[in-house]
Every structure is written in structure tokens, then in C-alpha cells.
Structure 1
Amino acid sequence: MNREMVIVLDFGGQYNQLIARRVRECSVYCEVLPHTTSLDEIRERNPRGIIFTGGPASVYKEDSPTISPEIFELGIPVLGICYGSQLMAHLLGGRVETAPVSEYGHTEVEVDVSSKLFQGISSKTVCWMSHTDYIAAAPEGFRITGYSPVCPVAAMECESRKLYATQFHPEVLHTKDGKQMLSNFVYNVCGCSGDWKMDSFVESAIQAMREKIGSGKVLCALSGGVDSSVAAVLLSKAVGRQLTCVFVDHGLLRKNEGDEVEAVFGPNGPYELNFIRVNAQERYYEKLKGVTEPEEKRKIIGEEFIRVFEEEAKKIGAVDFLVQGTIYPDVIESGLGKSAVIKSHHNVGGLPDYVDFKEIVEPLRLLFKDEVRAAGRELGIPEYLVSRQPFPGPGLGIRIIGEVTAEKVRIVQDADAIYREEIAKAGIEGLGQYFAALSNMRSVGVMGDERTYDYAVVLRAVMTSDFMTAEAAEIPWDVLHKVTNRIVNEVKGVNRVFYDCTGKPPATIEFE
């Protein structure tokens, strides 16, 4: 499918994915590529616009990431952001220096509203700055369209060449009018029409899968999470009973989750596919006996998943295609050679070594998480499944501190179900992630007239926009009070409830 596209060239910025997401929110398709992408490849992709990301380097140092100045001669509009703005200035004859005063955080910037980039925006707007260098002098032919008290070139442009730059970050939510600025760039400057719609994506993806697979057999590892569920339904719509989904219930899911997955995808569900549920709970509990270290638990759960899936795949025999729920952030990370991994991820990435198949299909590899959810709604998947909050592959195995046992799983399942139920009843929205975990602490309590010696449950809830950083959510005390009362009264084996007030960093979002 030929679709209009904007390319983000990455110069090491932490917000590269965020820029692409914001552009797509404007209904314009966007891809992230490394700054080393050749001009020939850029020409071949025929983008309507190019965006340079920020980055931690200084443009005037020899080993800093750069690009051929010829990119500015392609006639394609370019928007440079932060480092990208300085690189544009540096390559075109401007002057970039260490700033006398570094800017970090919310900054009031005065902008020229006659600029195509700032149409519909107040002349004084709050933006997010993060820089130690600055543009001391704009290149010849550029006019300054934005400044702050300590940044003489907060924005600049050469309208005739369609070159625009902002020292601040329009992609982050802290920049009040950032979304409007990016919309102005893709529509007013690049002339996009906005053809990136989820209904057309779903329709074209189903058609593409149907053509690729033909009469082949397809195998999908279904976890019940958002990505694998949307991938399974999309394939079901494309090839029906040529698809077999294997759902491994490792006994570490949320309360009733295994039955919920079967209700949607099983023989009585609405989708045309072959569904195999493997109840491997006891097998997992046996493998995890005596194991307390979180990383070791993750590895055991991931490896056992592969073993169970392999056994089922052997029963099915050779297949033509293996489905993977790869989504676009995974593609970006591998494509740009980044690996900031602080915990091992439980995914089907290891499966190709063990399963007899010819080719991998990744129907969601172009989508961000929010777009996967939108595709799920378009496909008619139940909302409770589509909007399900993130859940780790190793499941409750890492939300139980210390050894995993069937009793501890029951405790954390029941406590978590109560917590989620009361959050929903209270109508609390906007939480990034919330769940109950089980500490390995036991302490003395009194219930009725008897002394108890039971576990402490920990409640966690965070606010986050990107899961890279997070703040503990301020859950109303009356809700926490009600949740606490219900847990200690209804969940056998618990006599205390704590609330985790720690942000990320220094903690992680998960509690393991």
C-alpha cells in the first residue's frame, strides 16, 4: 500500500519513538530510521517530511552523529528538534556554542505566530527545554521565530527551503502546544492529507496476510495479552481455521484470566480458529520450587513456556508460518541497535529454534501499543481485553517476592482482583499500571480474638506516559481504606496491606 509518510531520523534522542507516535496521532504514518540511513534510501521511501531528533552529543565535536548536508537539497521539508536544530544550524553555516546558561524543564518561549509552524498558537507558550548547547547565530537565509530569555534562537526557519527548527521538544506533553506544532508541520508545511487510519490499516493488513499465507498453516503462541490477542484475531479474519492458537496457562495469570481467554478464543468464542489450552500450572509450580531470585524465576518461566509450546507444536506437525506479536517499538530498538535491558523479557523470540516452520509473520510490526489497542477495537475484540493494562510475561511469578507456591498465587490473585474491582468502582482513570503484589514479609496481627502470623500485600499504582519514568499515583484514602478492609477480611493468609509510594526511578514499575 502506498501511503504518505514522515521519516524520523534518530540522532540518539530518548524521545525518538515519542516523535513518531505524535506524528501518527495526527493521522500521518511515521517511521524511525537511524541517522546513518543513506540519502538514496530516503529518496526511495519518498517521505513528505523529515524530522531530526534530539541527542546528547555536541554538533561541533568530531565524533558527533551527523548527516550529509545534501539532505537539505532534496526539496523535502525538514524539522530539526533540539540536537537536530543545532545540527541544521551547524551544517548550514550557523554557529552552535556551549550555552552560557543551560535550560532544562518548563520554559516560556515567545514565538512568531506568522510562521506556518506556530499557526493557531499563543505568541507566548510554555515549552520543554533540555540543552547545554545553543544556536548562537542562525544560518544565512533563516529568520528567528522563537526565543526565550536565555535562548536567542529557540526556533528558526527558512520558509523558501521548507527548513524548520525548534530548540525545545514539541513531542513531549510538557510543551503545551507541541501537538499543534507537529500537526502544523505535517499539514501546513509537508502538505499531508492524513491517510493513516486504523480501519484502513486493519483492512489492508488482513488482505496482506491472506495473500502472503495463501493455503498455508499458521501457528500462534497466544498469551492473552493485548498484542498476541490482536495478532490472533487479525490472522483469524485473514485465514480462519488455517490458524492454530496455543494458549499456555502457566498458573501465574490474574484471577480467572485463563477462563476469560478461553471464552474469547475457545470453541464457544466468536472467532474462527483452532484453540489449544495447555493447563501447565503444576508443572510450573514444580519448576519454581525453592527459587527466590527474580531473574532466575523469569528465565525458568520463559524457558518452560518454550518447552510446553514445543511439545504442542510437535503434536501439530510442520506449519508454514509462525506468528509473532512484535510491535513497532521492538522494531525500532533492534533496528537502531539499542539494548537498554534491565530485566529479561518473556517473549516468543526463542521459539524459531524449536518449532518446525518456514517463515515468521508479524502483522503488528508497524504499530505502537496505543495503535494495537485501536486495531483491536476495530476488529471487535472485547474492550476489557483491548484496554487491559500491561502484564509481565512471567505473570504473578515476579509479583510474588521469594518462592512461588500455589497458595501465594491464590493470595495475590484474590488481592489483585479486589484492588482492580475497587479502582473500577471508584471510577479512577488515567493510571498507567496498578496491581497487588505479595511481599515475603510475615508479621503478627490480631483477627477476632486470635493472634495471626500472616503475609503483607503491597498495592502499587503509577502514573506514566511512557513507562520510562513514573510517579506513584495518589489513590484517594477512602479507596485504599476500602481495598485494605476487603483484602484482610476476604483473602485468607493476609493481615497487613501496604501502599508503595516509590516512583521510577529509583524503583521499577513492577514489584519484584
Structure 2
Amino acid sequence: MSQSSSNQIDQKVLVLDFGAQYGQLIARRVRDLHVYSELVPCDITAEELREKSPSALILSGGPASVYAEDAPSIDPAIFELGLPVLGLCYGHQIMTVTLGGEVAHSEVGEYGAAALERDRESALLNATPLEQTVWMSHRDAVSRAPEGFTVTAKTSVCPVAAMEDASRKFYSTQFHPEVQHTEHGQQILSNFLFDICGLEPNWTMENIVEEKVAEIRKTVGEDRVILALSGGVDSSVVAALGARAIGRQMTCVFINHGLLRKGEPEQVESVFTQQFDVDFIHVHAEDRYAALLDGVTDPEEKRRIIGTQFWNEFFAVATELEQDGRPVKYLAQGTIYPDIIESGARKTGGKASTIKSHHNLIPFPEGVHFDLIEPLDHFFKDEVRALGLALGLPEHIVHRQPFPGPGLAIRIIGAVSPEKLEILKEADAIVREELDAYNQRLFEQTGERNSEHAVWQYFAVLPDIKSVGVMGDERTYARPIILRAVESTDAMTADWAKLPYDVLARVSSRIVAEVPGVNRVAYDITSKPPATIEWE
């Protein structure tokens, strides 16, 4: 039973997704203005929308032509719900043809920055310049606006770049106000949300915490909840929420497989035994994992072993709780909104498909079942981090870098051994210490946590080779360390970080001097694609 935040929100904007590459971004931009927003499939019916009680609708862009045989369409009755509607790009065109206007093929498309000229009178474009730069991505264009609409902007290529029917509160633009390249895009969205729709910017972290705490209490009642606490951002925020909502009715199970970064098990235990009032169980499974991984070199086999043993350890704890008279009804998970979207929904040109979330793959033993609680399932990652700060989680957990579930096992190329783990933990600690400091200096200089040259993710990799070196007057035959540091925003693509030479030199010098068994440091300067961020 997944508990969604959307049921508790009195005002929300629904984004009808026509397969846009910017679909998630629209919802993000609305949330940035402190109004709750989420994506729904474009083939939702008017009746289904009415049941969701939205305050306004936004029709997203999409890759199709409205003339294509399989082009996504919209239920015409949606325009009879009396809701304010904003159409963007494809949404602009589908609104046009559905309401009786015309869209024409254009011999010249517009892609990228375009100069927009707007009319002096426009509720949507109010408080923006008469001439401004917007971001376009289209070939077809509206040639005749529907009856009742006024054209409010144009470009040299697009005669109807924006239009509005104020009496029905229908507005649309051919350009994308949600992207940063549209200079005044956030002002345009603000005009729609607040001036046109009359919404209030009340979706704040303080209100969200109150809502989620009340929601968890109502769902759980007197029952017990179990959470697999990895120490990552998502599960830690769920643990902090549970601590505030139900205290020791939540059991946080921290399975220590011995493959975490240096100091992390101690940090997790300290936070959730001293700062939060939850039932915390630290499972020391290091030896069991070491035995299972002994001699295993294939990365997929490593993942399979680690994943399977994780659930074995987890359900063993659940069984013990049952035997101790503390039966568990709910399993809490740190599923976040991108997990929901990317797990299969809305991936076919905007048409809805059944969501097959990753939690459906939980290998429940025979006779074991928990109802699910997923309090973060409608939050984006940066919102989860903000929620964590509002709940009092320390910075080192809230801003923890992405870390693979199998841990250091897939940053050790080849078989995992205690010796290799110790080398990698020590080297990785130096990498993180030095690049944490580098990022902090950038933050102090720019005031931006994610400034242009900040490094997004950084870690050490231990390859399965040795190389010749000289230390003192003696020949060495020791292991190299590979430094991996990338710049990215979403991990879909990444570029290697252009670190200053003095930073690279300091990392290299410290690793060779402080980590026994290492005599060389190499820097991976491959982007993604063609490489991946992780090595295995």
C-alpha cells in the first residue's frame, strides 16, 4: 500500500505528459514556486482528472506532430472542466486543434533560442519585456488560433507563439518557459499560477513535514514499520520522518556488509541512535558477505550475491521481531518520484503504461508480506534533500554522493578481499576529503552549492593489476588507484571534471604517501557516454 502525498494536498497542478523531454522539468519548475505539481498520462479522461481535484492543468510538449497517425490526443471534455489550462509546445498545438484552430506544417523550424515579440496586453506574459529570448523546439506551428483566443506573441517564424482566452483561462505558448534558456520563463509560470489561477505558494518544507508526519501516523496507527536503512539520502529521510511520526514503532535495520566507505557505518549508527528516537538494529554481516564474495570476479555475480544476501539478512531480522512479539505490518521504502516515472510509466510517446516499480521485485519469502509505505514517492531528489534538512538530518547525510547498492565491491575490479577493501577505503577517504574541500572553496567563492566547476561525484577505483614503482631507493610492485571525478546533474550524461593540477597533485601525493600498497594514481578522463560513471 503506497501512500501518496497527492491525496493530502488542497491545491495542485497536474502536468499532462505528451512524451516531453521536459515533462519532469515542468513539474519541477512549478514546485520551485512552492506549488505542488505532478505528472499524469496524457490519455487521462476528464472524469479521472475531476476525481484528482486539480487546481490547474499544464499540457506538456512532446516529440510527435499533431498530424501523425499515432499522435497523442486529449479528451476534449477536459476543456469543459472549468480549470485554467496552460499548453506548452505540443500542448499549445493540441489545444489549438482540439478547440477548432489550425496547425500548419512549416518549411522552416525553430530550434534553440528565438527572439520573441509580445503584445503589450497579456496576462500570461505580464511583467516580461516586449522583446525577449525564448527556447523553441518545433517545426509545425499554429496558423490560426481557435475562436475566442487572442494572439499575444510571435517570432519571425511562428505567427502564433503565444495565445490566450482570458474568459476561459486558457493560455498557451509554442516556446518552453520551463527551460532556463527562456529568459523570463519562471515569471511566465508565476503569472499563470498566481495571477491567473489564484494559487498560493504554500507548498513549503515545513508544511510538507507536517503533512507527511500526519499521513504516516494515520496509516500506521498502532502497527509496526520496518525500514532497510542504507545510510543513503532517501532511506535516511524516511527514517527521520518515521522517527518524528511514530518513534520506536519504526525499526530501522542497518545491514553492514563491510563494503561501505570509511567511517560510514559509525556515522549512520551515531545519527540514528543519538539524534533520532527509533528502534535501530545494526546487523554486522561483514564476515558472511566476505565469505560469499571470496574469489568472485564477475560484477553481475557480485551484485546478485550482495542483493540476495541483503534480503536474507533483512528478513531474518523481521522474523526475529515476529518471534519477539513485535510483528511488522508495514515496510517503509525510500522510493522517490523519478523512480516511479522511470520504472515504466509514460514511456511510450506520452501514453500511460502500467507502472512496474522496482519495489515489486522485493523477493518476499513464502508466507511473508508487508504493506508498503513510500512517503517520498512524489518528491524529486533535491526536494528529498531539503526535506532531510528540515527534519534535522546532518549535512554529511543529506548531501551524500550517489553510492551504488553493492558498495565498494563494484569499485574493486576483480575479486574482493580484505586487503583490497582496506586499500580502497583509505584511498577513497583521501579523495573525498580533498574534493570535499575543493567544492567547499568553490562554494565560498561563488555562494552556489552546485557552481559551474563543482564536482558532482568523485571516488577511487582499485583495478586488478600491479605496477612497478620506486619509493625511497627501492623498487616497488604495488597497486594503482584510479581517480574518478565527474560533473553531471542527473547521471544520464556526465563529463570528467577539469580539476586544477594542484588538486590532482595533492590527491596523488597523499594517496601514495598514506595508503600502504599503492604506488601510482591515474585520472579517468572519459565522459559518459561512451563510458559509465562507475567502472563495474
Fold match (TM-score > 0.5): yes
State the match for 1:133 in structure 2: 140
State the match for 2:351 in structure 1: none
Deviations 1:285-309 (A, max 9, x none): 3322333333332222211111111
Deviations 1:80-128 (A, max 9, x none): 1222122122222333344323333333433446422223333333333
Match among 370, 373, 382 for residue 361 of structure 1: 373
Match among 128, 145, 149 for residue 142 of structure 1: 149
State the match for 1:217 in structure 2: 224
State the match for 2:77 in structure 1: 70
- Bigger drift between 460-469 and 382-391 goes to 460-469
Match among 115, 125, 129 for residue 122 of structure 2: 115
- Deviation of 1:326 (Å): 1.4
Deviations 1:412-450 (A, max 9, x none): 222221122112223244233222222334332222222
- 1:488 maps onto 2:512 in alignment: yes
- 8 Å CA contact 2:161–2:173 kept in 1: the answer is yes
Cα distance between partner residues in 2 of 1:334 and 1:281: 31
SS in 2 for 1:100: coil
Cα distance between partner residues in 2 of 1:160 and 1:474: 53
- Bigger drift between 181-190 and 469-478 goes to 469-478
- 1:103 maps onto 2:115 in alignment: no
SS in 1 for 2:271: helix
Match among 469, 473, 492 for residue 449 of structure 1: 473
State the match for 2:283 in structure 1: 278
- 8 Å CA contact 2:19–2:346 kept in 1: the answer is no
- 1:188 maps onto 2:195 in alignment: yes
- 8 Å CA contact 1:3–1:195 kept in 2: the answer is no
SS in 2 for 1:260: helix
- Deviation of 1:382 (Å): 1.2
- Bigger drift between 320-329 and 492-501 goes to 492-501
Cα distance between partner residues in 2 of 1:454 and 1:134: 64
Alignment of 1:420-499 (within 5 A): 420-426=432-438, 427-428=441-442, 429-430=449-450, 431-499=455-523
Give the 4+ runs in structure 1 shifted more than 6 A. Answer: 345-348
Structure 1 pair 453–169 and aligned structure 2 pair: CA distance change class (3 A) = farther
Instruction: Using structure 1 for the length normalisation, give the TM-score.
Output: 0.92
- Bigger drift between 27-36 and 354-363 goes to 354-363
- Deviation of 1:348 (Å): 8.9
- 8 Å CA contact 1:347–1:393 kept in 2: the answer is no
Cα distance between partner residues in 2 of 1:398 and 1:378: 33
Q: Could you say which structure has the greater relative contact order, defined with CA pairs below 8 angstroms and 6 or more residues apart?
A: 2
- 1:414 maps onto 2:426 in alignment: yes
State the match for 1:308 in structure 2: 313
- 8 Å CA contact 2:45–2:78 kept in 1: the answer is no
Match among 392, 399, 403 for residue 387 of structure 1: 399
Amino acid at match of 1:289: D
State the match for 2:214 in structure 1: 207
Cα distance between partner residues in 2 of 1:347 and 1:377: 26
- Deviation of 1:161 (Å): 2.2
Structure 1 pair 165–352 and aligned structure 2 pair: CA distance change class (3 A) = farther
State the match for 1:342 in structure 2: none
- 8 Å CA contact 1:143–1:158 kept in 2: the answer is yes
- % of aligned pairs identical? 53
Amino acid at match of 1:312: V
Cα distance between partner residues in 1 of 2:174 and 2:271: 49
Structure 2: which 5+ residue stretches go unaligned? 1-7, 349-356, 443-448
Where is the strand percentage greater, Structure 1 or Structure 2? 1
Structure 1: which 5+ residue stretches go unaligned? 340-344
Cα distance between partner residues in 2 of 1:106 and 1:410: 51
Structure 1 pair 399–126 and aligned structure 2 pair: CA distance change class (3 A) = farther
Cα distance between partner residues in 2 of 1:106 and 1:37: 32
Structure 1 pair 485–130 and aligned structure 2 pair: CA distance change class (3 A) = farther
- 8 Å CA contact 1:4–1:28 kept in 2: the answer is yes
- Bigger drift between 64-73 and 20-29 goes to 64-73
- Deviation of 1:357 (Å): 4.4
Structure 1 pair 20–241 and aligned structure 2 pair: CA distance change class (3 A) = same
- Bigger drift between 448-457 and 81-90 goes to 448-457
SS in 2 for 1:150: coil
- Bigger drift between 235-244 and 288-297 goes to 288-297
RMSD of aligned Cα (Å): 2.5
- 8 Å CA contact 2:115–2:132 kept in 1: the answer is yes
Cα distance between partner residues in 1 of 2:367 and 2:433: 40
Instruction: Using structure 2 for the length normalisation, give the TM-score.
Output: 0.88
- Deviation of 1:33 (Å): 0.7
Match among 302, 312, 330 for residue 339 of structure 2: 330
- Deviation of 1:34 (Å): 0.7
Cα distance between partner residues in 1 of 2:30 and 2:471: 56
SS in 2 for 1:457: strand
Cα distance between partner residues in 2 of 1:463 and 1:112: 41
State the match for 2:330 in structure 1: 321
- Deviation of 1:229 (Å): 0.8
Structure 1 pair 123–436 and aligned structure 2 pair: CA distance change class (3 A) = farther
Structure 1 pair 103–285 and aligned structure 2 pair: CA distance change class (3 A) = farther
State the match for 1:152 in structure 2: 159
